[in-house]
Structure 1
Amino acid sequence: MSEQGGRDYNEDACGHWHSERYLCCVLADGAGGHGGGDIASKLAVSHVLQGYAAIPAHQPQALEALLRDTNRALLAQRAANPQLRNMHSTVVVLSIDLQDRTALWGHCGDSRFYAFRDGRLAERTNDHSLVQSLIDGGLLDEAGARVHPKRSELYSALGTDGNDLHISVSEQPWPLQGREALMLCTDGLWEWITDEEIASALSFAPEPQAWLDDLKQRVQLAAAAKPNHDNFTALALWLGTD
């Protein structure tokens, strides 16, 4: 699901690739003037998928290396085109080994990965953002973060040079038991819907697309008073026990 929201164009991008053994899902949310956000997010998605297809990055160091290489590609594109010098993008990547039945994920920025097991939230990424640092420091709660005036201020995203780039990758592959519902999404979705509401929508959904359709309706209802609300994108994957 990828929706324009109330913006003039959609700066989100997403995609996936799979072989018989591996599956890679990636999602990105771009920003920057002169159409740079659209270019940044598409570049991030295509670079991750191409790199993963060449060598599946299903170990933490390999996935981090792939994301750092994607950052270098984005920086090179910025350097080659002065109009794109301010472009950047969040990214979140999910890797699944279908043979060993494990998942691995990594991200940069405030696009998120969610893992629900038996309908309950089991794993969720922590944003690289100002409000997340305030939450971690006990100075803000989740409800306050959603209305904070600087809730969109990131301290890391692709397009960041040197030591200011922060990439988070799960410490080790996560065993899949076949009772999981997984989702990647941009902040245009989660800023309007709590984790509890995402779980509630999951509990009523007969299949993944119904889950995303429910979340879409919830975003549109919650954002009805803000006609220029952000693009929102999500990719969902359910695992069975077969």
Structure 2
Amino acid sequence: MTKAFRLIASTGIHKGDREYQQDQVALIAHPRYNGCVLGVVADGMGGRSGGRKASDQVMLTARQLFERYSPETDDPAALLRTIVQESHIVIRLTAISAEQEPHSTLAAFLINPRGDCHWVHAGDSRIYHFQGSRLVHRTNDHSYVQALVDRGELTEAEATNHPHSNILIGCLGTESDPPATAHLIPQLQPGDVLMACSDGVWHYFSPAELGSVLESLSPREATEFLIEKARQRARGGGDNLSLVIVKMETLVEEKKIPPLASLTPQPTGATRP
């Protein structure tokens, strides 16, 4: 039988060394179902206003659809696919009147009250699942260099520093239908950590480094540390940064020591600026 656990969470966002903030991040607690949360990261692309419009549309669409979601009767995987599809359509409509071509990545995870977790992503914003400091699973980017890694032509380390690491082969707002790669964690356990983030964060860390930070620090501390360390490592050339971290901890049942309060708070070949 699964032990009762609580969710402790934090979000973080910083414009890094860019002039404008085009990332968006949210951790949304369901208005009617306790323990049901949606985490979303969207990395907008397409010039000063285009990228921000695109990531704003992702957030608006995700919030509206999640508010209507019922974990008792609705299909969580279908909800996440719909968020991808409807965000894509709205961004495409926005592009008709926009000077720039707006595009956005999307990385979203949904935790149900019973403890199952579903996620979906499009583009190169990532979701990581750690148990303690051990990486259990992460998303594979819809990018040119990830395709090279999948074919065995590059290592993960080589891909990070590849000159074409900014070329995406799928995201929201392109002429082609966006990718929507899904994943299921049947049952979250105490010690599990989920992190969704834009490439402005993950680009500067190995999975081992991320695991160590997420295990040893609280979500809020980890969020602050990762943003600060990524900015140092970028040496003045860093992208926007956004992340959301959710940590599962065993529920403390000792009456004399109550638990701490939870913080619930491009066409194919699209190229990043």
1:62 maps to which residue? 79
Partner of 1:196: 208
Instruction: Report the 3-state secondary structure (helix = DSSP H, G, I; strand = E; otherwise coil) of the residue aligned with 1:154.
Output: coil
Q: Give the distance between the partners of 2:17 and 2:156, measured in 1 at CA.
A: 24
Shift of 1:202: 2.1
Larger relative contact order (CA 8 Å, sep ≥ 6): 2
Q: Structure 1 residue 216: deviation in Å?
A: 1.8
Q: Which residue of 1 aligns with 2:22?
A: 11
Partners of 2:76 and 2:110 within 8 A in 1: no
Provide structure 2 residue ranges, at least 5 long, that are not aligned to the other structure: 1-11, 252-273
Aligned equivalents of 1:53, 1:237: Cα separation in 2: 20
The Cα shift of 1:173 comes to: 4.7
TM-score where L is the length of structure 1: 0.91
Which residue is 1:26 aligned to? 40
Does residue 118 of the first structure (1) align with residue 127 of the second (2)? no
Q: Cα–Cα, structure 1 residues 148 and 70, in superposed 2: closer, same or farther, change >3 Å?
A: same
Task: Compute the displacement of 1:66 (Å).
Answer: 2.4
The match for 1:96 among 111, 119, 130 is 111
Residue 87 of structure 1 is matched in structure 2 by 102
- Once the two structures are superposed, residues 143-192 of structure 1 have per-residue CA deviations (whole angstroms, 9 ceiling, x without a partner) of 111110110100011102344x211111x453111221111100001111
C-alpha distance in structure 1 between counterparts of 2:50 and 2:232, whole Å = 29
For 2:136 and 2:81, how far apart are their aligned partners in 1? 22
| Runs of 5+ unmatched residues, structure 1 | none
1:59 and 1:173 in contact (8 A); partners too:
no
Match of 1:71 among 71, 88, 94: 88
Work out whether 1:229 is the aligned partner of 2:229.
no
What residue in structure 1 maps to residue 165 of structure 2?
151
Contact 1:16 1:49 in 2 (8 A): no
Q: 1:36 aligns with which of 46, 50, 53?
A: 50
**Mapping 1:106-145, distance limit 5 Å:** 106-145=120-159
CA distance in 2, matches of 1:181, 1:24: 14
Which stretch of the first structure deviates more once superposed, 179-188 or 154-163? 154-163
1:184 aligns with 2:196: yes
Structure 1 distance, partners of 2:181, 2:210, is 23
Measure, in 2, the Cα distance between the counterparts of 1:138 and 1:213. 35
Runs of 4+ deviating beyond 3 Å: none
| CA–CA distance in structure 2, aligned partners of residues 58 and 189 of structure 1 | 31
Same amino acid, percent of matched pairs: 29
Find the aligned partners of 2:63 and 2:191 in 1 and give their Cα distance.
26
Aligned length: 234
Distance in 1, Cα, partners of 2:250 & 2:48: 47
Deviations 1:14-56 (A, max 9, x none): 1122222421111100010251011111111111121111125
Q: Which moved more, 1:210-219 or 1:87-96?
A: 210-219
CA distance 1:147–1:26, shift in 2 (3 Å)? same
Superimposed CA distance per residue, residues 98-148 of structure 1 (whole angstroms, 9 cap, x where no aligned partner): 2x1111000100000111112211121110000100000000011111110
Q: How many angstroms does 1:58 deviate by?
A: 4.9
TM-score by length of 2: 0.81
Normalized per residue, the structure richer in helix is 1
What is the letter of the counterpart of residue 15 of structure 1? A
TM-fit CA distance, 1:239 = 1.0
**1:181-226 deviations in Å (ceiling 9; x for gaps):** 1111000011111111111212331x111111221232122112xx
Of residues 168, 175, 179 in structure 2, which corresponds to 1:166? 179
> Which residue is 1:51 aligned to?
65
One-letter code aligned to 1:73: V
* Larger of the two Rg values belongs to structure: 2
| Separation (CA, whole Å) in 2 of partners of 1:68 and 1:46 | 13
